[in-house]
Structure 1
Amino acid sequence: MHVSVRADYAMRAMLVIAAAAPGRITAPQLAEKEQMSIGSLQAILLDLRRAGLVHSHRSAERGYGLARPAAAITVGDVLRAMDGALTTVRGLPTDQTSYAGVTRGLSRIWLSVDTAVNDIVDRVTLADLLEAPR
């Protein structure tokens, strides 16, 4: 599994948003706090909003907030919102790979890797990460 820069930025942004008062952190504040490019961060926040993970406040309390409680958003939700399938083989989802002859067993191992990765990231929530010892 490869964690892209976008996925890393998205996870960091989601944790900072989750730790802030609802709607109280703006994109520029978040970019400065996490030393991210504001342009990249805004594109990521737009994708997170489209995925239903964050919402923006346009009132006096402008800024970003989580669309669901931190305990209801998994690491897998965020990673998939950024990059789609978590494990791929030659650019294909693992369940679409096929092999012949002596390499036939590869499909089984790639599916096992995919299952293990998904199990881990779908079990850990933003709330879990916020509660982790520092």
Structure 2
Amino acid sequence: MHISAKADYAARALLELACDPSRPLTCEAIASSQEIPFRFLKSVVGELRRAGLVRSQRGCEGGYWLGRPAGEISLLDVVRAVDGEVITLRGEPLAGLGYPGPAGRLPGVWRQVEADATALLGALTLASMLPAGPAARQARSDAA
């Protein structure tokens, strides 16, 4: 299995934004906090913006916010926003995949792996991924 750097960076950036949705963050701040290459993150955030997962505002008071509440953004939304498909085989979707002879059942296995991954990613929201409790909230406010 392969998780793309784009999907990983996108999820990390969105989780950073979800920690304090009341204030915007710049790409520079997110990149620094998550140790993500700035230029790559800028491209990823552009894709997230086009997908409606983040919104932006220019200027000295600007930056990025979540486009929807953290409880309404699943990891599946994130992966699809930056990668399109959850799992591909040599860059192609699994839908029409078929093999002859003894390998004939293999495409069904790959499709089941994709279905299971899709179900898991769809069930996990950004809100569910954030640390909970007073200590975590204090750590987030101390970091601000």
TM-score by length of 1: 0.91
What amino acid maps onto 1:41 in structure 2? L
Q: Aligned equivalents of 1:106 and 1:84: distance in 2?
A: 23
Residues 22, 66 of structure 1: 8 Å contact kept: no
Cross-structure match for 1:115: 115
Displacement of 1:131 = 3.9
Q: Aligned equivalents of 2:41 and 2:123: distance in 1?
A: 26
Residues 99, 106 of structure 1: 8 Å contact kept: yes
- Residues 1:130 and 2:130 aligned together: yes
Cross-structure match for 1:93: 93
Cross-structure match for 2:10: 10
Displacement of 1:62 = 0.8
- Residues 1:40 and 2:40 aligned together: yes
Displacement of 1:34 = 1.3
Cross-structure match for 2:140: none
Cross-structure match for 1:61: 61
Q: Aligned equivalents of 1:131 and 1:124: distance in 2?
A: 13
Residues 23, 61 of structure 1: 8 Å contact kept: no
Displacement of 1:27 = 1.1
TM-score by length of 2: 0.85
Cross-structure match for 1:29: 29
Moved more, 42-51 or 13-22: 13-22
Cα deviation 1:54-101 (Å, max 9, x = unaligned)? 000236531110111100000011111111111112322111211112
Q: What is the aligned length?
A: 134
Residues 23, 56 of structure 1: 8 Å contact kept: no
Q: Aligned equivalents of 2:100 and 2:123: distance in 1?
A: 34
The secondary structure found in structure 1 opposite 2:55 is strand
Q: Aligned equivalents of 2:64 and 2:72: distance in 1?
A: 17
Q: Aligned equivalents of 1:56 and 1:115: distance in 2?
A: 33
Q: Aligned equivalents of 2:103 and 2:35: distance in 1?
A: 45
Cα deviation 1:20-74 (Å, max 9, x = unaligned)? 2434211111111112221111101101001110000236531110111100000
Displacement of 1:8 = 1.0
Percent identity for Structure 1 against Structure 2: 38
Residues 21, 66 of structure 2: 8 Å contact kept: no
Q: Aligned equivalents of 2:23 and 2:97: distance in 1?
A: 43
Taking only aligned residues, the RMSD between alpha carbons, in angstroms, comes to: 1.8
What amino acid maps onto 1:112 in structure 2? Q
